[in-house]
Structure 1
Amino acid sequence: MKTNKRNIFLIGPMGAGKTTIGKQVAQLLKMEFIDADQEIEDRAGAPIDWIFELEGEEGFRKREVKIIDELTLRQGIVLATGGGAIVAKENRIALAGRGAVVFLETSIDQQLERTRKDKRRPLLQTDDPKETLEELAENRDELYREIADYIVSTDRGSVKSVAKDIVDMIQSD
């Protein structure tokens, strides 16, 4: 692992597997796993969809910037970010500068499959989730790539094999 990169930050769209794969990577490397969205919910004492409803996306993003700044200052963590975390320039700077950034790439079809039963994703509570995911990908894909040290597809292979691939890539650098 790069000497200045003692953390691993997982970025990517919703449904890419950041939390699931992140837990496996942390286990393999014996590091602490943190989910940024879960941290926001724990501190707010409320679910993300409720925060969105009350404060809008802007209010949620302000909370997210604060949490990501704080969490990325820690050492020895695997952090799963929310899909939109990279929208804020402050987050991109903190993530890129404080750890190894892994972009978990996935297809729109996989995202739809993995998120179709999840009612707690505010941006997908729409008549056309596929169109929403396509728009999000169009707006965010370049931002993910901009700060990614590694890009890994999560469409094929088990969670364990993807996690092992990530660990192998990071350890070989």
Structure 2
Amino acid sequence: MNPASNLILVGPMGAGKTCIGKRLAEHFGLRLVDADREIEQQAGTSINTIFEHEGEAGFRARERAALATLVREDGLVVATGGGAVLDADNRRLLRERGFVVHLHVSVPQQLERLARDRSRPLLARGDREDVLRTLSELRAPLYREVADLYFDTDACNSQEAAMRLAQQLTTQWQRTDATHAPAEARMIRTETT
């Protein structure tokens, strides 16, 4: 069991990190922080504008700085951006400073959930299904690398997913404000169906 004061949600866009995170924060009496919204507040502009003017590299640098600041706090549910795991330092930080849940969603479900969403710069690049499949192939192993717990969100809405995940977290996550366990103690990998 990984004792950690923060709950960190990773996974692809459309997995429900923010919606589920909000419900989990309420359930556990924690504060929800959406990393992408924090970046926008710090930059004073939208993620689309950051991508437009600074490119993905500029956005990732801002994301790295925001996450480094956020995870210093305790008692948070952090909804990360889908690409936060691309950076090795981010992955190390997430593992050290939180209990990490990989919220999985299939590409067909992403296409359905994101059908009307025009706010995601990576989806503006060509065929959405191809983009999502490519991102999944690249990022899925990284989500697995950092995750203490795997949770599939395909078959449920955010309310049901949060309720089921909260039940699992009650037995899997030992919330503490104490020093975090070493990485070797973090090898809990549980799958749900």
TM-score, normalised relative to structure 2: 0.86
Q: Map residues 153-168 of structure 1 onto 2, 5 A cutoff.
A: 153-168=152-167
**1:126 Cα deviation from its structure 2 partner:** 2.6
1:27-86 Cα distance to aligned partner (Å, 9 max, x none): 111110000000000110100000000000000000000001111111000000000000
Is residue 70 from structure 1 mapped to residue 69 from structure 2 by the alignment? yes
SS at match of 1:9: strand
Once structures 1 and 2 are overlaid, which stretch shifts more, 118-127 or 5-14? 118-127
Residue 166 of structure 1, CA deviation: 1.9
Shift of 1:164: 1.8
Taking the aligned partners of 1:123 and 1:70, their CA distance within structure 2 comes to: 25
Counterpart AA for 2:17: K
Alignment of 1:44-123 (within 5 A): 44-123=43-122
Q: Tell me how far apart the structure 2 counterparts of residues 32 and 114 of structure 1 sit (CA, whole Å).
A: 25
Q: CA deviation at 1:117?
A: 1.1
Q: Which amino acid aligns with 2:150?
A: I
Q: Specify the SS of the correspondent of 1:25.
A: helix
Match in the other structure for 2:185: none
Q: Structure 1, residues 127-162: CA drift from partner, whole Å, max 9, x if none?
A: 301000000000000000001001101111231221
Tell me how far apart the structure 1 counterparts of residues 60 and 98 of structure 2 sit (CA, whole Å): 21
RMSD value, Cα: 1.1
User: Residue 78 of structure 1 aligns to a residue in which SS?
Assistant: strand
Could you list the runs of 5+ residues in structure 2 that have no partner in the other structure? 173-193
State TM-score, norm by structure 1: 0.96
What corresponds to 1:146 in structure 2? 145
In structure 1, give the amino acid aligned to 2:50.
I
Shift of 1:2: 4.0
Aligned length: 172
Q: Which structure features the higher share of helix residues?
A: 1
SS of match in other structure, 2:154: coil
Aligned to 1:125: 124
Distance 2:28 2:157 in 1: 18
Q: Which whole-Å CA distance do the structure 2 matches of 1:46 and 1:96 have between them?
A: 29
Partner secondary structure for residue 13 of structure 1: coil
> Any stretches of 5+ residues in structure 1 without a counterpart?
none
